[in-house]
Chains A and B, each alone.
Chain A
């Protein structure tokens, strides 16, 4: 489904991502973890085209993504959420979902007029379903800026779903969430997967990753140091050292706000 081969991104002398090889299979929930600044967000930005890679390839469903614009990658089926919530604050919740429906499937189903000037009954029904999926049924007419934090996170998730992705990149979706919200989020992630969406989950909150991910890769200083099932990874010595530090290493991981 998604193949990263020798993927590298260097910022000057800093190797944010270095020779990364990852394969995500269709229909799985794949976790990507690592300490702060280990290159997780950079990896996501490389996959969806925000950054241009220094070296290596990104293949999505056998197709080479290198050089493609973010909007082309979305139409190919890669959607994402952001670590720090990004919505369109001046649009209503409903409009935020409306404008996200740009999958080839939705574009083909609508004529010029219904695409731009009116929402068809089907569009309205599907947006209503998305609102329900995100527990935002009664918030459709609110401006996105007036939503509470948790609601904004759910709206972001629903908006990514509105693009009918084949691969969904979740960038720390549980940041700032309480237990109950994390529980709801794992349910939502599983429901997405069950509807046929492959998920790449970048996360700090171990409770979430260990709970939902089927396979995990661990990054440290831009390199993959381990991969396997959640159990394998937890027992891996290199991973424990990366998170807890080693006796001989006195340089702590640098936090680049990643």
Chain B
């Protein structure tokens, strides 16, 4: 594989984290335009951990995900009373605040004779953990996919669990959820925290894969794309947003004649899907039908033996 293919494949996986993050909030009925903030916060936090404090990468990822998760919980608690459009705007405002703050944060320390750390508008350079250890792009890509698989399995387990049902309940009827004896406030904050942490894992990986991050990358278009992936791929299962990412970053990027028109094709795709499949390709109804088919099939096979 050449470096270009590896980069595209790695991008698919890293963007998948933020798509899953936006998806987690979408199923609880909230549209966040601000998940890029947690991706960015974690990229900075994880980068700082491995460069300025010489921590191993797993610690960096853990710290990044925790920072993102706790900030997301705090923001979730503050925006609890907002819903619909007001909630969306507040998430966007918060994400822009984070981006603008990162633009002015300059905390550099000297490590081995070089200055490292966030450097305001110049971004955060030399997050070289991967190169210092002679880890190849391919190996790091496999590492990214390994973590993505872990996060995906965790989310699929959550979806099967009662917690997954509670998240979907919040998405369809908040008051009715409260009427089941469930403290909706607690679950909304929990969902926000989980979504923040998932985006954080992606951000931490991104910082170490590219070795360089700048606030400009975490602009609102990243958040809008993250939302669109879930809406394209479907809100019925955590595989949905991954399909969305694969369609956008994989297919549209790979097909040469679309290049230059990618955003037009992508926008059109979102519009068409919103009209004909408002909850995406793999929506709840289709996922349920697939599950029924599968359980009948496996049942028939077990009887055939």
* A50 CB contact (under 8 Å) in B157, B165, B171, B175: B175
A14 CB to closest chain B CB (Å) equals 22
Beyond A71-B181, A71-B182, A143-B284, is A99–B176 a contact (Cβ under 8 Å)? no
Inter-subunit contact A116/B182 (CB<8 Å): no
Inter-subunit contact B161/A74 (CB<8 Å): no
Inter-subunit contact B184/A91 (CB<8 Å): no
Chain B interface helix/strand/loop/mixed: helix
Residues on B with beta carbons closer than 8 Å to the beta carbon of A141: 292
B265 interface residue, CB < 8 Å from A? no
Inter-subunit contact A86/B288 (CB<8 Å): no
Inter-subunit contact B165/A117 (CB<8 Å): no
- Give residues 141-200 of B contacting A (CB, 8 Å): 157, 160-163, 165-166, 168-169, 171-173, 175-176, 178-184
A90 interface residue, CB < 8 Å from B? yes
Inter-subunit contact B168/A98 (CB<8 Å): no
Beyond A50-B175, A117-B157, is A95–B165 a contact (Cβ under 8 Å)? yes
Residues on B with beta carbons closer than 8 Å to the beta carbon of A98: 162, 165
Inter-subunit contact A74/B173 (CB<8 Å): no
Residues on A with beta carbons closer than 8 Å to the beta carbon of B173: 86, 88
CA distance A79 to B183 in the complex (A): 15
- Give residues 198-251 of B contacting A (CB, 8 Å): none
B285 interface residue, CB < 8 Å from A? yes
Residues on B with beta carbons closer than 8 Å to the beta carbon of A166: none
CA distance A89 to B168 in the complex (A): 10
Residues on A with beta carbons closer than 8 Å to the beta carbon of B172: 88-90
A92 interface residue, CB < 8 Å from B? yes
* B179 CB contact (under 8 Å) in A70, A115, A116, A145: A70
Residues on B with beta carbons closer than 8 Å to the beta carbon of A145: 285
Beyond A88-B168, A143-B284, is A48–B179 a contact (Cβ under 8 Å)? yes
Inter-subunit contact B285/A143 (CB<8 Å): yes
User: A-B contact count, CB below 8 Å?
Assistant: 70
Inter-subunit contact B178/A71 (CB<8 Å): yes
Beyond A75-B181, A143-B288, is A116–B163 a contact (Cβ under 8 Å)? yes
B194 CB to closest chain A CB (Å) equals 13
CA distance A139 to B171 in the complex (A): 23
Residues on B with beta carbons closer than 8 Å to the beta carbon of A143: 284-285, 288
Interface size class of A (residues with CB under 8 A): 20 to 34
A240 interface residue, CB < 8 Å from B? no
CA distance A22 to B176 in the complex (A): 26
* A102 CB contact (under 8 Å) in B160, B163, B180, B292: B180
B284 CB to closest chain A CB (Å) equals 4
A145 CB to closest chain B CB (Å) equals 8
Chain A interface helix/strand/loop/mixed: loop
A69, A88, A92, A117: most-surrounded residue (chain B CB, <10 A)? A88
Beyond A70-B175, A90-B168, A141-B292, is A103–B181 a contact (Cβ under 8 Å)? yes
Residues on B with beta carbons closer than 8 Å to the beta carbon of A91: 165, 168-169
* A71 CB contact (under 8 Å) in B160, B184, B284, B292: B184
- Give residues 83-140 of A contacting B (CB, 8 Å): 86-92, 95, 98-100, 102-103, 115-117
Inter-subunit contact A102/B175 (CB<8 Å): no
CA distance A196 to B181 in the complex (A): 20
Inter-subunit contact A116/B175 (CB<8 Å): no
Residues on A with beta carbons closer than 8 Å to the beta carbon of B285: 143, 145
B157, B173, B176, B181: most-surrounded residue (chain A CB, <10 A)? B181
Residues on B with beta carbons closer than 8 Å to the beta carbon of A102: 180-182
CA distance A95 to B162 in the complex (A): 8
Residues on B with beta carbons closer than 8 Å to the beta carbon of A163: 180-181
Inter-subunit contact A74/B180 (CB<8 Å): yes
CA distance A102 to B169 in the complex (A): 14
Residues on B with beta carbons closer than 8 Å to the beta carbon of A79: 179
CA distance A191 to B166 in the complex (A): 29
Inter-subunit contact B180/A100 (CB<8 Å): yes
B166 CB to closest chain A CB (Å) equals 6
CA distance A149 to B296 in the complex (A): 26
- Give residues 178-233 of A contacting B (CB, 8 Å): none
Beyond A88-B173, A99-B169, A143-B285, is A69–B183 a contact (Cβ under 8 Å)? yes
Q: List 15 A-B contacts (CB under 8 A).
A: A70-B175, A71-B180, A74-B179, A79-B179, A88-B168, A88-B173, A90-B168, A90-B171, A91-B165, A91-B168, A91-B169, A92-B288, A99-B180, A117-B160, A143-B284
Enumerate chain B interface residues (CB-CB to A < 8 A): 157, 160-163, 165-166, 168-169, 171-173, 175-176, 178-184, 284-285, 288, 292
Enumerate chain A interface residues (CB-CB to B < 8 A): 48, 50, 69-71, 74-75, 79-80, 82, 86-92, 95, 98-100, 102-103, 115-117, 141, 143, 145, 159, 163
Pairs of residues from A and B, 5 with the lowest C-beta to C-beta distance, nearest first: A102-B181, A74-B181, A90-B284, A70-B178, A117-B161
